[in-house]
Each structure stands twice: as C-alpha cells, then as structure tokens.
Structure 1
Amino acid sequence: MTTDPDPRPPRRAPAGAAVLREEVTEAIRAAVFEELATVGFARMSIEGIARRAGVGKTAVYRRWKSKLSLVVDLLSAFAVQGLPAPSTGSLYGDVRALLEVASHALRHPVASQIIPDLMVESARSPEIADAIKATLVDSQRGMASLIVRDAVARGELPPGTDAYRLLDVAVGPLYWRLVVVREKLPKGYLDVLARGAVAALRV
C-alpha cells in the first residue's frame, strides 16, 4: 500500500527573514573569546569581533544588539552547560575530581585572561555581574551541594554541613594560585588541597 505524496507545497521562510547560519554564530562566539583574551571587554568592539570571525558587522548585529548582550548571552550559555557533579564514591575522590576540573578550566590561557577582566567589568555592569554569578557561582555551588549531600548520605560528613564552605576551602585557594598570583601548581598540590578541604569540612 502506498501513500500519496503530501500535496502541500514546502514551507518557505517569510520574506525578508534572516536565516542565521549556525557556523557563523559559532565563529562569532569563538571570536568573542579571542577578543576578550586579547584586548579585554572595555576595548573589545563589534568591528573587531566581526573582523576576527571573518564576517560583516551586520552578521553580529543580527544576533546580538551590543557587545554586552553578546558576552552576557555567552556566559549564560555556559551556565546552562554546567558539568555534572563528580560521583567517585568518596568525599575525597569527589573533591579531588572537582579540583581537577576547576584547575583545568582555570589554566586555560583564554579563561585565565577573560575571568579577571570580566570580574572587574562586573563591578560596573549588573548584567555581567548576574551572568558571572550564574556561570561561576551558582553552577559551582550546585556542584558543591551535591558533593556534600552524597558525603552526608554515606556518613562521611555530619548533617547540616555547609556545602558552600567546600568552595571556600578548595576552589578559593586554587583560584588565588592560578588566576590572581598566576603561579604553576606544585606537584601534588591538588592532592594536598583535596585532603585539606575534606579535613576542613569535618571540623
């Protein structure tokens, strides 16, 4: 048994509608990261982004109305793509895995340039401050809460343990070392930091 082909004509995009090609969008996003790392947010321009992406300014403005909305959108997208919390079966293993992921991200040459610059800009822009909070703070707090919750369920931590303290005693020193002081991590540093963080949570 055969069916007749659909007699309806294929849909067409409305006249004058812009078709946003995904490869162009991704090229623009990559260019934003490179521009931020090279010149910083204050000196970054739509012209520079377009030139680096190999597109016209119109292609950028079709997608974002300004460099601020572009950066906020980029940061918000990363917040949605948050990594799952480690699940190694032990508190030490989970904290060590968290530190491994965080150190890898903070050592990336682009991230190490962008994060401090955007932290400065967040003092002047509530939009950037909110996007950074969602990307760097809320996602990390959610991960820390899951790690502590699992440790409490296993009996490794007492009920009521402050999950946010995990970030203070583990990720805080790592951020200081890699982003602020910009020193290489000594051999075994993550192991020592993980043990210290576990001990601090149990106090």
Structure 2
Amino acid sequence: MERKSIDHHERRKPSGAAVIRPELTSALYRALFEEWAQTGYTGMSLERVADRAGAGKAAIYRRWPSKLEFACEAIRSVEVMRLGSTDRGSLQADIREYLRATRAVLRHPLVRRIIPDLVAERLRSTELSAMLDGIAVARRQFGHRLLDRAIARNELREDLDRELAIDLLFATLYSRMIVRGKAFKQVDLDRLVIALDAAIKTC
C-alpha cells in the first residue's frame, strides 16, 4: 500500500518545467505595449514590463530569450498589423474595407505612439529591421491580393504600377493620423475611397 502511494505521488509530481499560462502571456503582451508606448523600445525595461503584468522577470524569459524576441512575438500576436482578405465585390469596396480596418488600428492610442518609435528605431539600429520588414511584407501581400481581385474583375490593367498603388493605399491615413496626429472621420474616409479608386486606376 505504501509503495502504491509513493508511485502515485511520483506520477503526479511536476516535471520541473513551469506551466506557461496563456492568460499571463496575454498580460505580458499588454504590459509590453504599455511600457513601449511610454518609454520607447530602447528605454523599455523588462523588469517594469513584468511588474505591470503582476509577474516576475523569469516569466518573460521562460517564454522569450530576449527583449527582441518578446517584442516581435507580441507584434505577431495581435491583429494590429493584420487585415482580412475577404472579397467585397469591387475595387471601391475592397479599398473601403482596407481603409476601415487600417483606421481602426491607427486610432488605438498605444499604436499611435509605438509606430513612430518603430520607424525611429529602424533609423537608429537594425535590430528591429527583420520584424518591420515582416510587417511591411504582410501588409503589401494584402495589397497585392486586393489588386489581383480588381484585375480579375477587369477594373484594373494587368500592367499597373503595383508598388505605387499599394503605397497609395496606406500613405494618406498614415500621414494624417500618425505624422500629423489628426483625426480621420468617416466622411474623410468616404472621400478617400473615391480618390484612391480613381488614382489607382491611373497607376
């Protein structure tokens, strides 16, 4: 009987590896973004991030080997840089959905503070280049799918300047909301949809 009790205890004994709790991981992501927005990437302290999340610094290093890996995974974990690829039936409708989703992202107060820091950090160091390249590639892939659908519907020429067209999709919102810090209202979005539709058709 005693031997069985020991065996049962041994089977239930933790292996020594800490359990990675999803809710704590989410809390660490939120804390990272809050710290990042306040201090910038260079000034970000993982100790303060852990304190914000109500955890110890070891909780971070059990998940990510470095601040860079932590930051990259945090960006990938959220919908901040992602867009859907649903066919809305026309170029104008697809542009509208792209702008609506992008505006929703850029209206978030943390995003509006982190994005300029990302751009500035890239000028200071190459540390975040791979992550920023990945974000840019993902967004441009969405743009290419949008253009492909419009070409298939005979709304655009096959030989259009794709790079220029994709640059146009994001430039106005970024300039108004991030560079100038201004609001972008629904009426502004409606006008921009019409303007972009016309502009892209001339690319």
- TM-score tier after normalising by the smaller chain length: 0.7 to 0.9
Contact 1:122 1:129 in 2 (8 A): yes
Contact 2:83 2:98 in 1 (8 A): no
Normalising to structure 1: TM-score of the pair? 0.86
Contact 1:35 1:44 in 2 (8 A): yes
Q: State how far apart, in whole Å, the 1-side matches of 2:142 and 2:84 are.
A: 7
Q: State how far apart, in whole Å, the 1-side matches of 2:168 and 2:154 are.
A: 20
Q: State how far apart, in whole Å, the 2-side matches of 1:108 and 1:183 are.
A: 13
Residue in structure 1 matched with residue 40 of structure 2 by the alignment: 40
Contact 1:35 1:49 in 2 (8 A): yes
Residue in structure 2 matched with residue 165 of structure 1 by the alignment: 164
- Is residue 110 of structure 1 aligned with residue 110 of structure 2? yes
Aligned counterparts, 1:175-194, within 5 A: 175-186=174-185, 188-194=187-193
* CA displacement at 1:79 relative to structure 2: 8.0
Q: State how far apart, in whole Å, the 2-side matches of 1:144 and 1:164 are.
A: 9
Contact 1:79 1:134 in 2 (8 A): no
Contact 1:82 1:139 in 2 (8 A): yes
Amino acid at match of 2:49: I
**What are the ranges of 5 or more consecutive residues in structure 1 without an aligned counterpart?**
1-8
Q: 1:43 to 1:81 in 2, by over 3 A?
A: closer
**What are the ranges of 5 or more consecutive residues in structure 2 without an aligned counterpart?**
1-7
Contact 2:81 2:139 in 1 (8 A): no
Q: State how far apart, in whole Å, the 2-side matches of 1:171 and 1:11 are.
A: 56
Deviations 1:42-100 (A, max 9, x none): 22101110110000111112112232221122224448983322411010111011001
Residue in structure 1 matched with residue 100 of structure 2 by the alignment: 100
Residue in structure 1 matched with residue 3 of structure 2 by the alignment: none
Q: State how far apart, in whole Å, the 1-side matches of 2:56 and 2:180 are.
A: 39
Amino acid at match of 1:176: S
Contact 1:96 1:194 in 2 (8 A): yes
Contact 1:92 1:195 in 2 (8 A): yes
Identical positions, percent = 37
Amino acid at match of 2:63: R
Normalising to structure 2: TM-score of the pair? 0.86
Contact 1:121 1:128 in 2 (8 A): yes
Q: 1:18 to 1:159 in 2, by over 3 A?
A: same
